[in-house]
Amino acid sequence: MSILVIAEHDNTGIRPSTLNTIAAAKLLGDDIHLFVATNNSELPNSASTIESVSKVISSVDDTLEHQLPEALAPMIKEVATSYSHVLAPATTFGKNLMPRASALLDSQQISDISGVIDQDTFKRPIYAGSCIATVKSNDSIKLITVRATAFDPVQLSGGSAAVESFDSVVSNDKSEFVNEEIAKSDRPELTAADVIISGGRGMQSGDNFHLLESIADKLGAAVGASRAAVDAGFVPNDYQVGQTGKIVAPNLYIAVGISGAIQHLAGMKDSKVIVAINKDEDAPIFQVADYGLVADLFNALPELADKI
């Protein structure tokens, strides 16, 4: 049977997490359809060039601008009946939407898969990534969210999918969008960055994050943070890396003034190279770091910014 992927997008472009999700779908079957619900009639056409997608199912309506789950989940329920698997990225978009669709289909969702064993069996991290469970699903339609960092993305181009429209838009009188504060930055996004430099409680203040930013600017890096730094108000919530924040796996992750709690490691320990800068030589972060520098960050960071 065919595999359905729910596209995450911002109405102007398809989000990279969708491309990782399609990569996971390819391990389940070759006939991959992409569901695009948007207010932009151009978007489904531009999505039709994505590698490995054979059909785009497009639903275009002004009410779909904010893709609230009260409207989207019933639509997915209707579309899903002709598929064996329905996949979405395990981002806040997919985490919000998919369990709602799953319950409507009376299916027990498999969250945040990091591996595909066969059509029914998946690997997923549990207990903040302390363990990896292999889970088999016996539901006939499987709803799945995908950990983007575990699957290399397909290309945005190279495909030529047919575009088919799905017109039963569901009206939603239960919830409404009020506003959004989306962080704007010239730096790469955390989940797409090749290099990330993150600060923790050791940074002492939000102002001190400029020490990280000047290094980030030189390396083309994104800036992240621990929960403690977000809770303390140094930086906004979208910086948080970890079990309950963002999962990242860049080529290089530099943790500065971060102790290395298991909840933080859960979000970054699959990075290729890990550097830790911490003044406490016993900090647990050093147990996962390829290169550890025991130093006061207020000395090390300016020197690093200068010499890198």
Partner 1 sequence: MKILVPIKRVVDYNVKVRPLSDNSNVDLNNVKMAVNPFCEIAVEEAVRLKESGTATEIIAVTVGTSASQEQLRTALALGCDRAILIESEENPEPLVIAKALAKIFEEENPDLIILGKQAIDGDNNQTGQMLSAILDLPQATFASKLVIEGQTANVTREIDGGLQTIKVNLPAIVTTDLRLNEPRYASLPNIMKAKKKELATKNINDLGIDTSARTEIISVELPPQREAGIKVESVDELIDKLKNEAKAI
Ligand X SMILES: Cc1cc2nc3c(=O)[nH]c(=O)nc-3n(C[C@H](O)[C@H](O)[C@H](O)COP(=O)(O)OP(=O)(O)OC[C@H]3O[C@@H](n4cnc5c(N)ncnc54)[C@H](O)[C@@H]3O)c2cc1C
Do 202 and 279 meet the contact criterion of CB atoms below 8 Å apart? yes
Subset of residues 197 to 256 that bind ligand X, contact rule: CB under 6 A: 200-202, 226-229, 240-245
| 226 near partner 1 (CB under 8 A) | no
| 244 near partner 1 (CB under 8 A) | yes
| 306 near ligand X (CB under 6 A) | no
Do 126 and 111 meet the contact criterion of CB atoms below 8 Å apart? no
Options 30, 42, 65, 106; binder of partner 1; rule CB under 8 A: 106
- Beta carbon nearer to ligand X, 166 or 298: 298
State the Cα–Cα distance between residues 188 and 6, nearest whole angstrom.
24
Paired tokens of 169? 């838009």
Residue 21 Cβ vs partner 1, minimum distance, rounded to whole Å:
14
Give the one entry of ligand X, partner 1, none that residue 257 binds, where binding means its C-beta sits below a cut-off of 5 to 8 angstroms depending on kind: ligand X
The backbone torsions φ and ψ at residue 253, rounded to the nearest 5 degrees and listed phi first, read -120, 120
Do 52 and 32 meet the contact criterion of CB atoms below 8 Å apart? yes
Pairing of strands 53-60, 32-38: parallel
| 182 near partner 1 (CB under 8 A) | yes
| 278 near ligand X (CB under 6 A) | yes
| 238 near partner 1 (CB under 8 A) | yes
State the Cα–Cα distance between residues 35 and 59, nearest whole angstrom.
8
State the Cα–Cα distance between residues 233 and 249, nearest whole angstrom.
25
Do 107 and 24 meet the contact criterion of CB atoms below 8 Å apart? no
Which region among 20-28, 128-136, 157-165, 206-214 touches partner 1 (by CB under 8 A)?
128-136
| 171 near partner 1 (CB under 8 A) | no
| 259 near ligand X (CB under 6 A) | yes
What is the layout of strands, in order, in the sheet containing 110-113?
110-113, 142-146, 83-89, 2-6, 32-38, 53-60, 162-165
| 125 near ligand X (CB under 6 A) | no
- Beta carbon nearer to ligand X, 102 or 243: 243
Give the one entry of partner 1, ligand X, none that residue 125 binds, where binding means its C-beta sits below a cut-off of 5 to 8 angstroms depending on kind: partner 1
**Separation in Å, CA 299 to CA 159, 198, 259:** 51, 16, 18
Residues that bind ligand X (CB under 6 A): 200-202, 226-229, 240-245, 257-259, 261, 263-264, 267, 278-280, 283, 296-298
